[in-house]
């Protein structure tokens, strides 16, 4: 192995307390932000999936009992509004 005058000796055995505190705080903020993003994505996925399911059911019910069309649409539209409201509340 050729001689390399620049050797990495690794990090110091212990970081200064202030540096450790800042690293810990940044790590905590990152974990919190990631958790919020994952929660919003999950809520959005569930909301979209259930809205699609209810929309398909609405369509089926219109075929079976067409007089209820306005009611079915109102129920699905209201549910969609609830989903949007809940996702909007998650904003930080």
Is residue 67 in a domain? yes
Three-class SS state of 15: coil
* Host domain of residue 83: 52-92
Is residue 82 in a domain? yes
Is residue 61 in a domain? yes
State pLDDT tens for residues 55-74: 999 999 999 999 999 999 99
Is residue 23 in a domain? no
Is residue 32 in a domain? no
Give yes or no for residue 47 having a pLDDT over 60: yes
58: nearest Cα among 84, 50, 81: 50
Q: Residue 87 in contact with residue 39, Cβ under 8 Å?
A: no
Question: Across the chain, what does the average pLDDT equal?
Answer: 91
Domain count, the chain: 1
Q: Residue 86 in contact with residue 50, Cβ under 8 Å?
A: no
Could you give the CA distance from residue 61 to residue 67 in angstroms, rounded to a whole number?
Answer: 10
Could you give the CA distance from residue 67 to residue 65 in angstroms, rounded to a whole number?
Answer: 6
């Amino acid at each position: 192995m050729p001689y390399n005058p620049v050797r990495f000796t690794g990090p110091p055995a212990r970081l200064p307390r202030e540096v450790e505190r800042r690293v810990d705080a940044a790590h905590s903020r990152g974990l919190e932000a990631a958790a919020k993003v994952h929660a919003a994505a999950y809520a959005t996925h569930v909301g979209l999936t259930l809205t699609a399911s209810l929309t398909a059911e609405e369509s089926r019910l219109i075929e079976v009992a067409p007089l209820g069309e306005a009611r079915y649409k109102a129920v699905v539209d209201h549910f969609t509004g609830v989903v949007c409201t809940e996702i909007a509340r998650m904003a930080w």
